[in-house]
Amino acid sequence: MIGVIDTDGECAEWAFPAEPGAVRTARHAVRGALHAWGLEAVGDVTVLLVSELVTNSLRYASGPIGVRLERRSPAVGNPASGPALLVEVSDPLPDPPRERVAEADDEGGRGLHLVAASSRRWGTRHGKSGKTVWFELALPGE
C-alpha cells in the first residue's frame, strides 16, 4: 500500500513499502503528479530515473522508500538557473550509492549513470534515518 504524505501545491511526496510492486506504484504516482502539474514533457525521463533509484533501494534496503517531487522556480537573484523539478528518493540504508561502469553484458549497474547523464545535477545526502539520492531536471518552456 502506498502512503501519500503530501500532494499540495508544488510538492508531492509518497512512502512505499520495500516490496516488489513499489517500482510500478512509484512510476504511476510520479506520472500522475507530473500530469496534474502539466509536466508531461519531462514525464518519461523522470519516471525512468525514479524507477532506477527505487529499484536500487529495493535491492539494498529493507525499509520504506520515500519519493518526493518539488517544482522549483528560478533561484532568487539567479534567473539563469531556470525552473526545475527536484526529485528525491530516500531509504533507510545509510550507505550512499556508488556510480560504476557496467560491462556490456551486465544486467545492472547503469542506474546512477543514467541519473548523472540525464539530469542537470544530482547528488546524495545523509538524513536522520538513511540517505536520499536526488536529481534535478530543467523544465523546458517555462
Please report, for residues 20, 85, 101, the alpha-carbon distance to residue 11 in angstroms, rounded to integers and kept in the order given. 25, 10, 33
Return d(Cα 34, Cα 12) in angstroms, integer.
Answer: 10
85 and 40 Cβ atoms separated by less than 8 Å: no
Condensed to tens digits (0 to 9), the pLDDT of residues 79-114 reads: 557 889 999 999 999 887 766 665 666 555 567 888
Percent of the chain with pLDDT over 70: 79
For residue 76, CA distances in Å to 6, 80, 108 come to: 25, 10, 39
Cell of 56: 536500487
Which pLDDT band holds residue 2 (cuts at 50, 70, 90)?
Answer: very low
